[in-house]
Structure 1
Amino acid sequence: MSQPVTGFSKLNKEEKIEWLNSHYLQNSPDAIKVLKQYWNEDAKLQQLHEEFTENTLSNFYLPFGVAPNFLINGKLMAIPMAIEESSVIAAASKAAKFWGSRGGFKATVINTKKIGQVHFIYTGEKEKLKRFYDYIKPVLLDSVRDITQNMEKRGGGVLDIELRDKTAALENYYQLHCYFETKDSMGANFINSCLEKFAHVFQAEAENWKEFTSEEKDIEILMSILSNYVPECVVRAEVSCPVEQLSEENGMKGEEFAQKFIRAVRIAEIEKYRAVTHNKGIMNGIDAVVLATGNDFRAVEAGIHAYASKNGTYTSLTHAAVEDGIFKFWMEIPLALGTVGGLTSLHPLVKLALDMLQNPSARELMEIVAVAGLAQNFGAVQSLITTGIQQGHMKMHLMNILNQQQATPEEKRIIVDYFRKNTVSHSSVITQLEKLRQQ
Structure 2
Amino acid sequence: MAPAVRARRGAATHLELVPRASEAITVSVACRACGDGGPLAPILSLGRTPLANALLTAEQLAEPEPTYPLDLVFCPACSLVQITETVPPERLFRDYPYFSSFSDTMVRSAKELIERLVAECKLGSGSLVIEIASNDGYLLQHYRDLGVPVLGIEPAANIARVAEARGVPTLCDFFGAALAERLAADGRLADVLHANNVLAHVAELGGVVRGIRRVLQPGGLVVVEVPYVRDLIDRREFDTIYHEHLSYFSLTALDRLFGAHGLVVSDVERLALHGGSLRVFVGRQGSPRSDRVRELLSDERAIGLLDTAYYRDFAVRVETLGGELLALLRELKARGKRLAAYGASAKGSTLLNTFGIGAEILDFVVDRSSVKQGRYTPGTHLPILPPAALLERRPDYVLLLTWNFAEEILAQQAPYRAQGGRFIVPVPEPRVV
Query: Which bracket does the TM-score occupy, shorter chain normalised?
Result: under 0.3
TM-score by length of 1: 0.26
TM-score by length of 2: 0.26
Q: Which has the higher helix share?
A: 1
Q: Give the greater-gyration-radius structure (CA).
A: 1
